[in-house]
């Protein structure tokens, strides 16, 4: 029998109901959000909530949960509240210094890994953020050398911690605005998920984007300035026959193709993400 002095403590079920009421209308996934936040406070998997709905939380756990719930009600993204997000089956630390990893970006990994290993020996990831692309590629291609850059020292700190937590050793991090501080000129593969949203895009005022760093999201010239700059710089840093893979907005594929072709990239192609949107251009 549980101790009787615990009877006033709320149960898992009661807290989830309270949370759903609070988040309905604020989040499209109220129930899921509530469960993820509660699991975070309890340090348990979601199956635990189903198995033990009557289990009561102590005052510390309840306080922590209600605090996170309030922040979620104000719109703060789940990944910033739990401090982590999955990408390509690994868990990455995330903070407000970095963009939250999105499934769309797994297309960059899929395309990179479809290249033969002898064409991915020397890889660079520009604007690495939390490090998801660089670290995933380094882990999946243990014999490759991977360099990752970011202009933000806060982001690089998160990326370094992720490489350490995941015990991935074949990746180095350098603070650089695109290629400005990179001297190597023999990359077989250049990948990037750069900022590509236009500064006046109303989506920036909605959802998770409101809380993410502008430096990771917004680019001038209708969102294309950084893509153009890094595609231009990449030409001076690639091995002969190297590949460039850049993520972009789903309505930007024609313009990105034009940029690649103007810069004399050959075999320019656009690839679709899991939702069927043109999301990555390669050259």
Residues contributing to the site for ligand GLN (CB under 6 A): 99, 102, 104, 193, 195-197, 209, 217
The angle, 0 to 180 degrees and rounded to 10, between the axes of the packed helices 253-262 and 225-234 is 30
Taking Cα atoms as reference points, which of 140, 127, 207 lies closest to residue 168?
140
- Between 90 and 102, CB nearer to ligand GLN: 102
Q: Is 131 annotated as a binding residue?
A: yes
Task: Determine which helix (DSSP H) or strand (DSSP E) holds 174, and give its type and residue range.
Answer: strand 171-175
In angstroms, the CA 245 to CA 210 distance is 27
The phi-psi region of residue 57 (left if phi > 0; otherwise alpha if psi is between -120 and 50; otherwise beta) is beta
- Between 122 and 149, CB nearer to ligand GLN: 149
Q: Is 129 annotated as a binding residue?
A: yes
Question: How near is the Cβ of 107 to ligand GLN at its closest, in Å?
Answer: 11
Question: How near is the Cβ of 52 to ligand GLN at its closest, in Å?
Answer: 36
- Between 53 and 207, CB nearer to ligand GLN: 207
Q: Is 195 annotated as a binding residue?
A: yes
Three-class DSSP category at 41: helix
- Between 30 and 209, CB nearer to ligand GLN: 209
Q: Confirm if 31 and 16 have CB atoms less than 8 A apart.
A: yes
Q: Is 196 annotated as a binding residue?
A: yes
Strand partners, 175: 150
Per the annotation, binding residues for S-adenosyl-L-methionine are 127-131, 150, 178, 193
């Amino acid at each position: 029998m549980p101790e009787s002095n615990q009877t006033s403590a709320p149960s898992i079920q009661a807290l989830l109901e309270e949370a759903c009421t609070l988040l309905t209308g604020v989040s499209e996934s109220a129930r899921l959000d509530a469960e993820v936040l509660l699991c975070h406070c309890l340090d348990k998997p979601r199956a635990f909530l189903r198995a033990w709905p009557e289990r009561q939380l102590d005052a510390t756990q309840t306080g922590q949960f209600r605090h996170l719930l309030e922040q979620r009600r104000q719109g703060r993204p789940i990944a910033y509240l739990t401090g982590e997000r999955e990408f390509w089956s690994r868990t990455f630390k995330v903070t407000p210094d970095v963009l939250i990893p999105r499934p769309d970006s797994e297309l960059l990994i899929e395309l990179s890994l479809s290249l033969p290993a002898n064409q991915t020996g020397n890889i660079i990831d520009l604007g690495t953020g939390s490090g998801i692309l660089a670290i995933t590629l380094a882990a999946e291609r243990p014999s490759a050398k991977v360099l990752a850059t970011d202009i933000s020292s806060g982001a690089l700190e998160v990326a370094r911690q992720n490489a350490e937590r995941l015990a991935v050793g074949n990746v180095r991090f350098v603070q650089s605005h695109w290629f400005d501080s990179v001297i190597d000129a023999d990359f077989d593969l250049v990948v990037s998920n750069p900022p590509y949203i236009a500064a006046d895009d109303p989506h920036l005022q909605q959802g998770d984007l409101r809380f993410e760093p502008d430096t990771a999201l917004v680019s001038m010239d209708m969102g294309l300035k950084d893509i153009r700059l890094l595609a231009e710089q990449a030409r001076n840093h690639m091995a002969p026959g190297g590949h460039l893979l850049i993520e972009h907005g789903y309505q930007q594929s024609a313009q990105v193709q034009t940029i690649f072709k103007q810069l004399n990239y050959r075999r320019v192609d656009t690839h679709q993400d899991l939702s069927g949107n043109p999301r990555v251009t390669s050259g």
